[in-house]
Chain A
Amino acid sequence: MDTEAALREAQGSDDGTGALVVEDTTPGGPGEGSLEVGDVLVTIGGAFVTDFVTLEGTLDDNVAIPLDVVVERGGETVNLVIAPGNLHEVTPARLLEVCGGVVHALSYQQARNFQLPVGSVYVAEPGYVLGLAGVAKHAIITVSFFLFSYRQLE
């Protein structure tokens, strides 16, 4: 049975109209290097995953556990092993007020928007000094450069 027929059958006769396709992967994330844009998701952990509720349920129940992932890429079946990362770990819960501005670790939300790795220094509000320096809101500063500059201030 070809993949499309299997995916249709997995969704039942009424609802089988499509499949989940990779739209983007964030640099440095668990999916990068394994999943590619355009990959059609077939199974995770041996079970067909054709809808978001099943996908998110599977990811939420298997944080840091390596999962067998099967995708179809260019008509070929590709077998991958990917461990879901912890979404809370890439969602900052702390911020640093610096010279009237606010910076924090780049969240997955913004990393996804800007296609950069999580954890860089994200300028939420430039404030006075960063503003004077021409660093705009949403700017992303490399960590080492930020540490260097911050030490100079002290």
Chain B
Amino acid sequence: MGLEVRVVGNDSGEKLSILSATLARLDRDAPKYSGKGYNDFNTFYLQAASGTKGGSSGSPVIDAKGRAVGLNAGSKTKGTAAYYLPLHRVERALRLLRPACPTVDGTADPSPADTEWRSVEIPRGTFQTTFMYKGFDECRRYVSYSYFRMGQQSE
């Protein structure tokens, strides 16, 4: 948190844009964009007021040393807040994707166009259950609610 970042991309359709922001949250709930569309789940998002709009999606969010710390995903229409996907699982997907291109192993000259690409599997499991991260205080209240529901006394 507090990290200075830059979002390099094509904000609002520009050929090149570099927006700056300070990471305000590392634990924001996955943004809910639409009740009838794609929404991410079971992950935190990073949040910063970079004001990124359409065109910046997929942009790397980098720190002062050029290290990617997030992947720009979305923003709030009526505000400057933007949401970046943390890279833990992105890194895993990239690692699993590497064998897809046989030349990307450090030895041969990578010329992906000339080589036959293999299909790789990226296993994804699901309980078809959405979890939310809640503070312990709220967790305790869930417990009380359950007691209440079962007809027991609670404070």
Enumerate chain A interface residues (CB-CB to B < 8 A): 4, 7-8, 17-26, 28-32, 35, 38, 40-41, 51-53, 55-63, 72-75, 82, 84-88, 90, 108-113, 118, 138
Contact = CB atoms under 8 A, between A and B. Distances in A.
A20 B133 contact: yes
A57 B122 CA distance: 12
Given A20-B131, A21-B131, A53-B86, 11 more contacts: A18-B135, A28-B128, A40-B142, A57-B89, A62-B125, A87-B124, A109-B37, A109-B38, A112-B39, A112-B41, A112-B130
B126 A20 contact: no
Contact of B39 (A22, A35, A86, A113): A113
Contact of A59 (B35, B125, B133, B138): B125
Contacts of B136: 4, 7-8, 17-19
A87 B89 CA distance: 15
Interface of B: 35-39, 41-44, 86, 88-89, 92, 123-136, 138-140, 142-143, 145-147, 149-150
12 contacts: A4-B136, A7-B136, A18-B134, A18-B135, A24-B130, A29-B129, A38-B145, A72-B143, A85-B125, A110-B36, A112-B130, A138-B36
A26 B129 contact: yes
A36 B146 CA distance: 10
B146 A52 contact: no
B142 to A, nearest CB: 4
Contact of B126 (A61, A108, A110): A108
Nearest to B135: A18
Contacts of A88: 124
B38 A74 contact: no
Q: Which 9 A-B pairs have the closest CB atoms?
A: A29-B128, A74-B146, A84-B125, A31-B129, A59-B125, A87-B124, A31-B127, A26-B128, A20-B131
